[in-house]
Amino acid sequence: MNNQFLNCRGHIISLKDPLIMGILNTTSDSFFDGGRYSDEPSWLRQAEKMLNEGASIIDVGCVSTRPGAVAVDEAAELKKMTNVVTSLIKNFPKIIISADTYRSKVAIAAIHAGATIINDISGGSMDDEMYETIARLQVPYVLMHIQGTPETMQRNPVYHDVTKEVVRFFSEKTNKLRLMGVNDIIIDPGFGFGKTPEHNFQMMRELYMFKFIPHPILIGISRKSMIWKTLKTSPAEALNGTTVLNTIALINKANILRVHDVKEARECLELINRCDFPT
d(CA 228, CA 241): 8
Q: Single out the catalytic residue among 80, 103, 224, 266.
A: 224
Q: Is residue 211 flagged as an active site residue?
A: no
Q: Which residue has the higher pLDDT, 157 or 254?
A: 254
pLDDT digits (tens, 9 = 90+) for 45-103: 999 999 999 999 999 998 877 666 567 789 999 999 999 999 999 999 999 999 999 99
pLDDT digit string (tens) for 18-39? 999 999 999 866 555 556 788 8
Residue 89 DSSP SS3:
helix
* C-beta of residue 144 within 8 angstroms of C-beta of residue 116: no
Cα gap 103→208, rounded to integer Å = 31
Q: Could you give the percent of the chain with pLDDT greater than 90?
A: 80
pLDDT, residue 1, reads: 45
pLDDT higher than 50, residue 182: yes
Active site residue 90: no
Residue 187's pLDDT band, with cuts at 50, 70 and 90, is very high
Under the banding of pLDDT at 50, 70 and 90, the label for residue 17 is very high
Catalytic entry in 173, 258, 263, 274: 258
Residue 66 has what pLDDT? Answer: 66
Domains with residue ranges and CATH for the chain: 17-270 (3.20.20.20)
User: What phi-psi label fits residue 227: left (phi over 0), alpha (psi between -120 and 50 degrees) or beta?
Assistant: alpha
Mean pLDDT for the stretch of residues 123-149: 95
The pLDDT score that the predictor gives to residue 35 is 63
Beta strand pairing status for 5-8 and 11-14?
A: antiparallel
State residue 25 phi and psi, 5-degree precision.
Answer: -85, 120
Per the CB < 8 A criterion, the answer to whether 6 and 184 are in contact is yes
Q: Provide the mean pLDDT of the chain.
A: 91
pLDDT band at residue 4 under the 50/70/90 scheme: confident
